[in-house]
Amino acid sequence: MRVAMWTYPWDVQDLTADRVTADLREAGADTVSLATSYHAGRFLQARSPVRKTYFPEDGTIYFRPTPRRWADQPLQPQVSSVVSGGGDALADLVRRRDEAGGLRVSGWTVCLHNSRLGALHPDVVTRNCFDEPSTFNLCPSHPAARSYAATLVEDLSSTYRLDAIELESAGFMGYAHGHHHEKDGVGLLPEDDLLLSLCFCPACLARAARAKVDGARAKATVRRWVEEALERPVPAARWPELASQGPAAFAAAPEVHEYLLWRFEPVTSLVAEIRERAAPTTDILTIDLEDGWLGGSDLGAVTSVCDGAILCAYDMSPERVSAMLHAGRATVGPDKFLGTGFRLVVPEMRGAADVAARTAAAIAAGCDGINYYNYGLVPRARLDWIRQGLDRGLAS
């Protein structure tokens, strides 16, 4: 079973590759999943001897791109100063793998969540039913965004010969994203978030039309629903069974139901293009959620065109972890990689016993790998929770 830990390149620089490798091996990991393309944020660096808070640059990459691959690309990557000023941690980890029997190396790659590129190219981002842009989400229907994501993975896999690349945000993102100082005085419900996240940009409408789907009609209905929701005095669910029914909750509005089902196509075909252009020796895995359909991800369809998926089990009981992974295995089949991801954050995980119970549930459900989040964000003592969880899970 593959055991990985999501890790930031600045942590490798601050703590040294020797220390990171030793810590992960002691925790029971055989893989480091290093961020290769990432977004902005404010990070509390629990163990760094260099800094305790860090604000990474927005929408940058953490590897050295190959110029010829990007010569004709309309969206250009920006190399982080972490690499240009501090060195290529990814290359160092790959070298250690090849020369010194180091950890396997996976590239944790954010694909379409890029506010830097979205601000520079507003024509390439998703747009809601009011034609308003979500600059943090490049649209998976737009040719330039698709080419950017595919070239990113092609370059990474071919240049660095990674064992795997984990695709994060390869689809449509939600309206409630955690943007800087988000304001909502209405009290939006999950259904409202979905409606506001549906993209009706020109690229989506054109792609849907080619599939004989009337996106304009769906857009008009969604716009009316959102306007009605924004006028209510208190939140009231129109589709109370949304979580359990999925797209079928909208069957009474066939134009919207059809559009929701169509959204799977641009995401699935993008992942297929990424897999086709990636080096054949690098596994391509998607990072997904139990309700991935909200972002346009059809787990069965997506994993049929790549090598597997990592289903995040954030804030789930052991019973829910087990149920999700059993359902996931039934969907992806026996031959595709099926992993899961846990966060070592409090109060989600209150101690080693919580990690052990969830890890044991995942192993018992037959998952092929576990990723833990996140090496640099948690105290050193929590790495021991991983070892205890693995020991319990593998012994049961």
Task: Give the pLDDT band (50/70/90) at residue 395.
Answer: confident
Q: Which two tokens stand for residue 24?
A: 């992960």
**Which distant-in-sequence residues (6+ apart) come within 8 Å of 213 by Cβ?**
258, 259, 262
- For 384, the 3-state DSSP assignment is helix
Look at the block and give the residue holding tokens 């689809």. Answer: 171
* Predicted confidence (pLDDT) at residue 255 exceeds the cutoff of 80: yes
pLDDT digits (tens, 9 = 90+) for 191-224: 999 999 999 999 999 999 999 999 999 999 999 9
pTM, full prediction:
0.97
Cβ atoms of 129 and 114 closer than 8 Å:
no
Using the Cα atoms of residue 247, residue 275, residue 368 and residue 4 in order, give the sign of their dihedral: negative
pLDDT digit string (tens) for 22-55? 999 999 999 999 999 999 999 999 999 999 999 9
In 263-349, which ranges are continuous DSSP H helix? 264-277, 299-304, 318-332
Strand partners, 68: none
Q: What pLDDT does residue 179 have?
A: 74
Q: With 80 as the cut, is the pLDDT of residue 178 above it?
A: no
Q: Give me the count of residues in the chain.
A: 396
Q: Which domains does the chain have, with CATH numbers?
A: 2-172+264-395 (3.20.20.80), 184-262 (no CATH)
Band of pLDDT at residue 182, cut at 50, 70 and 90: confident
Q: How many CA atoms lie within 13 A of 81 on its CB side?
A: 5
Amino acid 394: pLDDT: 82
| Torsion angle (degrees, nearest 10) of CA 170, 272, 89, 33 | 70
Q: Read off the pLDDT of residues 262-300 as tens digits, 9 standing for 90 and up.
A: 999 999 999 999 999 999 999 999 999 999 999 999 999
Q: Phi/psi of residue 130, each to 5°?
A: -105, 10
B/e letters for 169-193, b = 16+ CB within 10 Å, e = fewer, are bbbbbebeeeeeeeeeeeebbebbe
Which pLDDT belongs to residue 44? 97
Phi, psi for 187 (deg, rounded to 5): 90, 60
* pLDDT band per the 50, 70, 90 thresholds, residue 94: very high
In sequence order, the 6+-apart residues with CB closer than 8 A to the CB of 277 are 150, 151, 153, 154
Task: Report yes or no: 308 and 335 within 8 Å, Cβ to Cβ.
Answer: no
* Chain mean pLDDT for the chain: 96
* pLDDT of the residue at 277: 98
pLDDT confidence of residue 199: 98
Say what the pLDDT of residue 181 is: 84
Pairing type for strands 31-38 and 60-61 reads: antiparallel
Q: How far apart are CA 107 and CA 22, in angstroms?
A: 19
CA–CA distance from 119 to each of 125, 143, 149, 152, 193 (Å)? 9, 17, 17, 19, 22
* pLDDT tier at 100, thresholds 50, 70, 90: confident
pLDDT score for 164: 98
Whether the predicted pLDDT of 396 surpasses 80: no
* Percentage above 70 pLDDT, the chain: 100
